[in-house]
Amino acid sequence: MIPFSILDLSPVAEGNSVGQALDESRQLAQAAEELGYNRVWLAEHHGMPGIASAATSVVIGHIGAATKRIRIGSGGVMLPNHSPLVIAEQFGTLEALFPGRVDLGLGRAPGTDMRTARALRRNLDAGAENFPHDIVELQHYLGTPTDEQPILAVPGIQSPIPIWLLGSSLYSAHLAAALGLPYAFASHFAPDMLMDALEIYRERFQPSATLDEPYAMVGVMGVVADSDAQAQHLFTSAQQQFVNLRRNIRSQFPRPVDTMEPLWSEMERINVEHTLRYAAVGSPETVNAKLAGFLAETGADELIISMPVHDIGARLRSAELFAGLPLMQKAA
Q: What's the CATH number where 50 sits?
A: 3.20.20.30
Asked whether residue 124 falls in the same domain as residue 240, the answer is: no
Which of 29, 37, 112, 105 lies closest to 74, judged by CA?
105
Query: Bridge-partner residues for 223, per DSSP?
Result: 281
Parent domain of 55: 1-161
Whether residues 50 and 151 share a domain: the answer is yes
Which pLDDT belongs to residue 123? 67
- pLDDT in the model for residue 331: 55
Q: Is residue 29's pLDDT more than 90?
A: yes
Torsion sign (Cα): 253, 256, 262, 267: positive
Encode pLDDT of 296-321 as tens digits. Answer: 999 999 999 999 999 999 999 999 99
pLDDT tens figures, 240-280? 999 999 999 999 999 999 999 999 999 999 999 999 999 99
125 occurs within a structural domain: yes
Domain count, the chain: 2
Identify whether 179 is part of a domain.
Answer: no
Q: Which of 130, 161, 192 is the last residue of a domain?
A: 161
pLDDT for 203 equals 98
> Model confidence at 330, in pLDDT bands (50, 70, 90)?
low
- Lowest-pLDDT range of 114-128, 253-267, 274-288: 114-128
Least confident of 75-89, 112-126, 174-188, 189-203: 112-126
- Please indicate, yes or no, whether residues 20 and 132 belong to a single structural domain of this protein: yes
Does 249 share its domain with 147? no
What Rg do the C-alpha atoms of the chain give, in angstroms? Answer: 19
In a domain, 47, yes or no: yes
Contact (CB, 8 A) for 290 and 2 = no
* pLDDT score, position 8: 98
Q: Is residue 186 part of a domain?
A: no
pLDDT of 225 above 60: yes
- Mean pLDDT over 76-88 rounds to 94
Helix/strand/coil (H/E/C) assignment for every residue in 89-127: HHHHHHHHHCCCCEEEEEECCCCCCHHHHHHHHCCHHHH
What rounded mean pLDDT belongs to the chain? 94
